[in-house]
Amino acid sequence: TKMGLPPLEYSDCFLDSPSFREIISLYEQELELNTRVVKNLVKECNNMIQKTEEFSRVQQEFARGLSQFRFQTIGTEKTEDEVLIADSLQSFARLFLSIEDYRQNMLMAIKVRLLKTLENFRKEHMKKAIEEKRKFDDASKKYYTFLNSYLTTKAPKKRDTTAVVSNTEKDQFEREKAQFRQISFDYVCRLQDVHAQKHYEFVEPILGYVSDMTTFLHQAYEEALNLKPQIDGIQFKVQLLRETHESEQEKAYQLKAQVIEDGLQGMVHHPEFLKQGHVMVMERRGGISGIHWQRFFLSVSQKRATEND
């Protein structure tokens, strides 16, 4: 089993041992990794919101376009099937628009509960911990640089066994040491806080996102479920219309072939007339061309012949 992080104790700040620095390094590595992860999640969340908003706009345009589709009936009145199909298409368009309303509500919740909370956790906690690290590193460097200088200056001369340290210098040393320890305490406290806060500051917005997503999916499902009887009915009607068309298609092909044959024999005309068709009449005119053809449509009945331009 992989070992977790060892405990980080305040008392270790007094010793500042190599093992204490190793433990701090482990906490820092985890902090840096999680900071990158949260930063990337915030980036992907922004991208997800943008793409979802674009999809929602397109979906709404599709729904509005669908609502504008109209069936022109053959004859004076629409058939029952045409009325049912037209009504169903309008219902589907309203369904898509309703779903997009729910999606917009989900997006608003995501912006607040997920995006804003993750961004706040990164800036207010993780980023400040990284700033505390810089402060700790600077304080550590300053303290040990001062200690080295202090000891070098006060090192005993040759043949001397002691070094004289004034009270003022000693007080300054104690102040530097106390300041470094205080910064160490603050840094350890910050690392412990971030480690504990990630268990709820990070997890809570993820739970909120899961809740918002499942709520949206449930609302969309309920809207579609309300239309299920209509969907089932229209599917049955459409299937019947397809089967009817396919069964009559052969008859239509036979009728087309018969009409073509009759037309080639000059037998195509309205029942009221003996013969109908276009007649080309030549007219002589002055000018270069001299000849002009005038086209007429002629209908011949038993009683009289009528002509139309």
CB–CB of 10/188 below 8 Å? yes
Please tell me the pTM assigned to this model.
0.72
Name the DSSP class of 305.
Answer: E
Q: What pLDDT does residue 79 have?
A: 77
Here the tokens at position 21 are: 């620095």
Q: Kindly tell me if the per-residue pLDDT of 191 is higher than 80.
A: yes
The amino acid present at 69, given as its one-letter code, is: F
Closest CA to 299 of 287, 291, 309: 309
State residue 139's pLDDT score.
93
Hey, how many other C-beta atoms are within 10 angstroms of the C-beta on 259? 12
Of all residues in the chain, what percent carry a pLDDT higher than 70?
86
Task: Please provide the average confidence, as pLDDT, over all residues in the chain.
Answer: 86
Cα distances (angstroms) measured from residue 301 to each of 79, 118, 252, 298, 306: 35, 87, 29, 10, 8
Is 90 exceeded by the pLDDT of residue 275? no
CB 299 within 8 A of CB 306: yes
- Which has more pLDDT, 154 or 49? 49
